[in-house]
Structure 1
Amino acid sequence: MATSNSRSCLKYLLHLAHDNLDFRLPEITALLALRGKPFHPCENFREKAPFWCLNDLSEEDVHSIMTRSICAKSAFELWGHGQTHSELKASLLNYPPENMSPFTHKDSTYRINVYTFNKTLEFADRIKRIDALEYLSFEGTVSLKSPQHIFCLLEDYGTDPNNIPEQPNYIYFGRWIADGQRELIRSHSVKNRHFIGNTSMDAGLSFIMANHAKVKENDIVFDPFVGTGSLLVACSHFGAYVCGTDIDYNTIHGKGRSSRKNQTWRGPDENIRANLRQYGTEKMYLDVMVSDASKPVWREAALFDAIITDPPYGIRESTRRTGSNKDITRPPEESHIPVSQAYHLSDIFADLLNFSAHHLVMGGRLVYWLPIYRPEYCDEMVPHHPCLRLISNCEQTLSSHTSRRLITMEKIRGPEEVDRLAHLADLRFSPYQGHNAFREKYFSGLNKREGEDV
């Protein structure tokens, strides 16, 4: 049988999940970068469309993407496409026979599926679609249960459920290669996780963040606001060694009240290590410790391949750091719970970017969530650092007036002493100081909305 390397003029089709639309392109681009491949879409590429046609890839590249992608549902070797079934037929008949023959010869078994986006076809209509493909030279035997090769006719009826056209906007036909990793959303659901908290990150978003960070096998990944370790779970799944810190003693040690319904207190084995054990990745667990993200505790070195985190916004978790605004003339009494004070969001981000500039390896990525008040948002509010280059900025809407943006940055040079306070001289710093009032704006908008509902 001919290999994919000996076949020419290959294009590949990705079927994307129609959620988290902003996150899809950065994820696929990052996964291609892990293979050393650029993102080369075919002409007429539309980022929000459910189907993307890509050039300059091998089948191995596509398989690699699909072993990790949360945003992509399926991938196909594209054999033909068109705006109508007539155009599709012409395109398929023009496809090189030598590219088809390894999958259509008489000793092969196959099945043809019909998939429609934004429209449901009756079974009889699906059969008609398949019968209309009789002009293709399939010489093998149909096998519905266990075919060697699966082919798919995909019809795109647009993205507006209130305005579905009679005929598809576009039609594709290709050979199925692989499915994405959407199953991870279910298998790693927080609902079934051993150890959770009030702000445990959604499983799907955790894996997307790991992909945006280009986390790979044997990387060392750090989360400075680790909480219950959802991001560590996702990164360890991709073979990275994981560690983290958090200022909350009870969370780090799995003590105190449980966040689970009908459970008063956490059990003795509820902790981050147990979460990794649940998914078979305990060997990737380095450790977690109680630490203040605003205080330096690490030696001055590039230690981490990726830093991935979800800082507290002051809504369900407080933004605190150790210290006091009062002058302390005598040492405090012994206690493992230090005095704390407010930790403004702008300071959190400034410290996070400075920490990343010092402790990321060159080319390492920082991925974090930035909460924003939508009526006042502008791109200048995204924190900036001279050692870090902005890669992507993706929005997840939380309400009519608030959202959070997933920011991905990459280290492009080593830090210098002047970089530590560079944000204070940067014109961008003043706008993103507005994040300090996010909590007040969040509840102000919530109260306004509730008042309108009354």
Structure 2
Amino acid sequence: MWRRYLMWFAHEHVDFRNSEIQSIISLFNIPMKFIETPCVQKPYWIVELPTEECVKKIASRSVLLKNCIELWSRAKTEEQLHQNLRSALQNKSGTWLGTSSHNVDSHVCPSELIEGCCPADKSFKVEVETFCKHFTMKEKVTKIESFSYLPLEGPVKLKDPDITLSYMEFYGSDPNNVPELPYDLFFGRLIADGQRDLIQVHSLKKREFIGNTSMDAQLAIIMANQAKVNDGDLVLDPFVGSGSLLVAAAHFGAYVWGSDIDFMMLHGRTRPTRFGQKVRTKEESILGNMRQYGSAGRYLDVLVSDFSRPLWRPGLAFDAILTDPPYGVREPTEKIGIERDNYTLSEAHLVNHIPSKVEYGIPEMYGDLLNFAVRHLRLGGRLVCWYPMVRDEYSGCQLPQHPGLALVGNSEQVLSKLTSRRLLTYEKTSDDVHIEGGTYTGVNFREKYFAVGEQSRRERRERKAEELAANARWRPQTRDLVNKTD
């Protein structure tokens, strides 16, 4: 019999929530039923899953999930919540009451779920959590004592108990308009915590080697989850930079490979990013990061290479490609080339020749990336990449497309009032490596970014000039008024 669970999320990167969880349940082949349609304003989902083990598998991967409880009671008021639990203790039939999709506001679980959870040899504690409202410790204790009628026979243990019971209240998502009473109340047994601790473990503040565009630790783990990275997979980042995505992929057991055109970055010779640091240390490298997290055995290598030129042998297949291509704002979009026609280089200069670079336009770059994914991903493998955009001009038809790839995830991270970027997840659907057709019909983001930025700066200058002019007109009138008053 499937059981009902409450999945409680951190209320950040909300647009990524569905893509991450759907990727995880696809990875583990877990069926899941939604009791009600997820809402971005709510930090929770109510779902049904076949086994408790399924819950633990999801929680073992998700970095957006705070925890998941086996839901014993849900109600709109405290009185109804306790009434549901008392009814559950009398429900000896072993079946769920009021669990149809037409009755999601309250339900009663079988009595054995409550009676069998806290025997005398098991310690327990009750936690109180609220969303959009703060309780004092005294108020929390009062809430906890209201559950004294439950048959909890074991000793109370506040640190690392055998069983944790969770009581949660939801007061909406507007901190400026908090209601007196909660909109929703939940009670149940904690099954598993998510992987929120990885955010601090992999924090860029603690990392040995970082660059100007190192990927945030939480987003890197989300990307690895959406790529369905698993133990033993072969993962590539063709725009590797300082290797943040390799760290996340290796955490889940993948063997990682990277490439980048930036020789200085891959050799740890760029200007230090951290404030106050004058020079980089010898230990700063992508391999140094892998050693820091105990993943050196998963590190294959990184190559200095131009992505626009073929490098990998035909037939080589990766399980996933994770990457954040440069946008031409903080990092240049470059490829090897020269703007002069019919240019030749003498043999005498070949030995010490350093190739010149030209602009690698974003449309061309994304076309190459999708074509590369079709040639070098296994069937069913995933490409997860970022796509920059001007928010007002976004349209789904502008996204990079390829007949051999299906877009299965599209989440937005807002960067500013004007710009954002979308995390796109593609899955390879055709094994015909001869298919070409990677297209990018969007505008040139770099040109639009600076054009919009310049327009915005000009508007600010004009507003400031108008304010100064208004103040100049207002000051004489104020002086006259003061003089008359005197």
Smaller-chain TM-score bracket? over 0.9
1:437 paired residue among 428, 436, 447: 447
Cα deviation code 1:272-310 (max 9, x no counterpart): 001100110000000000011111111112511000000
8 A contact 1:303–1:360 mirrored in 2: yes
**Aligned residue runs from structure 1 range 421-436, under 5 A:** 421=437, 423=439, 429-430=440-441, 432-435=442-445
Cα deviation code 1:53-84 (max 9, x no counterpart): 11124211111121221101111111111111
- The answer to whether 1:255 aligns with 2:269 is yes
**How far is the alpha carbon of 1:377 from its aligned partner?**
1.0
8 A contact 1:84–1:168 mirrored in 2: yes
**How far is the alpha carbon of 1:452 from its aligned partner?**
6.9
Paired position in structure 2 for 1:309: 323
**How far is the alpha carbon of 1:34 from its aligned partner?**
1.4
**Aligned residue runs from structure 1 range 33-48, under 5 A:** 33-48=26-41
- The answer to whether 1:225 aligns with 2:276 is no
- The answer to whether 1:368 aligns with 2:385 is yes
8 A contact 2:129–2:169 mirrored in 1: yes
2:461 paired residue among 440, 451, 454: 451
- The answer to whether 1:16 aligns with 2:9 is yes
Change in CA separation of 1:56 and 1:166 when aligned onto 2, cut-off 3 Å: same
Change in CA separation of 1:9 and 1:65 when aligned onto 2, cut-off 3 Å: closer
8 A contact 2:66–2:196 mirrored in 1: yes
Q: Which SS does the other structure have where 1:270 is aligned?
A: coil
Q: CA–CA distance in 1 between the matches of 2:330 and 2:46?
A: 41
**How far is the alpha carbon of 1:259 from its aligned partner?**
2.0
**How far is the alpha carbon of 1:446 from its aligned partner?**
5.2
**Aligned residue runs from structure 1 range 371-386, under 5 A:** 371-386=388-403
Q: CA–CA distance in 2 between the matches of 1:181 and 1:452?
A: 48
Change in CA separation of 1:142 and 1:216 when aligned onto 2, cut-off 3 Å: same
Q: CA–CA distance in 1 between the matches of 2:452 and 2:295?
A: 37
Paired position in structure 2 for 1:4: none
**How far is the alpha carbon of 1:439 from its aligned partner?**
3.8
Paired position in structure 2 for 1:426: none
Change in CA separation of 1:370 and 1:158 when aligned onto 2, cut-off 3 Å: same
Q: CA–CA distance in 1 between the matches of 2:461 and 2:387?
A: 27
8 A contact 2:33–2:49 mirrored in 1: yes
Higher-Rg member (1/2): 2
Paired position in structure 2 for 1:109: 123
Paired position in structure 1 for 2:299: 285
**How far is the alpha carbon of 1:442 from its aligned partner?**
5.2
**Aligned residue runs from structure 1 range 3-402, under 5 A:** 8-92=1-85, 93-94=87-88, 95-331=109-345, 333-334=349-350, 335=352, 337-402=354-419
Change in CA separation of 1:435 and 1:145 when aligned onto 2, cut-off 3 Å: closer
Paired position in structure 2 for 1:420: 436
- The answer to whether 1:410 aligns with 2:427 is yes
Alignment size in residue pairs: 440
Moved more, 441-450 or 251-260: 441-450
What amino acid sits opposite 2:251 in the alignment? H
Q: Which SS does the other structure have where 2:445 is aligned?
A: helix
Q: Which SS does the other structure have where 2:116 is aligned?
A: helix
- Unaligned regions of 5+ residues in structure 2, if any? 89-108, 465-486
What amino acid sits opposite 2:69 in the alignment? F
Q: Which SS does the other structure have where 1:155 is aligned?
A: strand
Change in CA separation of 1:329 and 1:400 when aligned onto 2, cut-off 3 Å: closer
Moved more, 165-174 or 334-343: 334-343
**TM-score under structure 2 normalisation?**
0.86
What amino acid sits opposite 2:356 in the alignment? V
8 A contact 1:314–1:439 mirrored in 2: no
**How far is the alpha carbon of 1:261 from its aligned partner?**
2.0
What amino acid sits opposite 1:411 in the alignment? K
Q: Which SS does the other structure have where 1:391 is aligned?
A: strand
Q: Which SS does the other structure have where 1:316 is aligned?
A: coil
What amino acid sits opposite 1:58 in the alignment? T
Q: CA–CA distance in 2 between the matches of 1:416 and 1:109?
A: 58
**How far is the alpha carbon of 1:51 from its aligned partner?**
1.3
Moved more, 357-366 or 260-269: 260-269
Q: CA–CA distance in 2 between the matches of 1:449 and 1:211?
A: 42
Change in CA separation of 1:416 and 1:9 when aligned onto 2, cut-off 3 Å: closer
Change in CA separation of 1:336 and 1:148 when aligned onto 2, cut-off 3 Å: farther
Change in CA separation of 1:450 and 1:270 when aligned onto 2, cut-off 3 Å: farther
**How far is the alpha carbon of 1:125 from its aligned partner?**
1.9
- Unaligned regions of 5+ residues in structure 1, if any? 1-7, 424-428
8 A contact 1:70–1:207 mirrored in 2: yes
**TM-score under structure 1 normalisation?**
0.92
Q: CA–CA distance in 1 between the matches of 2:132 and 2:204?
A: 29
Cα deviation code 1:318-370 (max 9, x no counterpart): 00111122223422633463111111111111110110011011111100010
8 A contact 1:311–1:368 mirrored in 2: yes
**How far is the alpha carbon of 1:416 from its aligned partner?**
5.3
What amino acid sits opposite 1:108 in the alignment? K
Q: Which SS does the other structure have where 1:104 is aligned?
A: coil
Change in CA separation of 1:446 and 1:39 when aligned onto 2, cut-off 3 Å: farther
Q: CA–CA distance in 2 between the matches of 1:449 and 1:71?
A: 38
Change in CA separation of 1:319 and 1:338 when aligned onto 2, cut-off 3 Å: same
Q: CA–CA distance in 2 between the matches of 1:331 and 1:14?
A: 63
**How far is the alpha carbon of 1:436 from its aligned partner?**
5.7
Change in CA separation of 1:164 and 1:449 when aligned onto 2, cut-off 3 Å: farther
**How far is the alpha carbon of 1:120 from its aligned partner?**
0.6
8 A contact 1:195–1:228 mirrored in 2: yes
**How far is the alpha carbon of 1:183 from its aligned partner?**
1.4
Paired position in structure 1 for 2:482: none
8 A contact 2:31–2:50 mirrored in 1: no
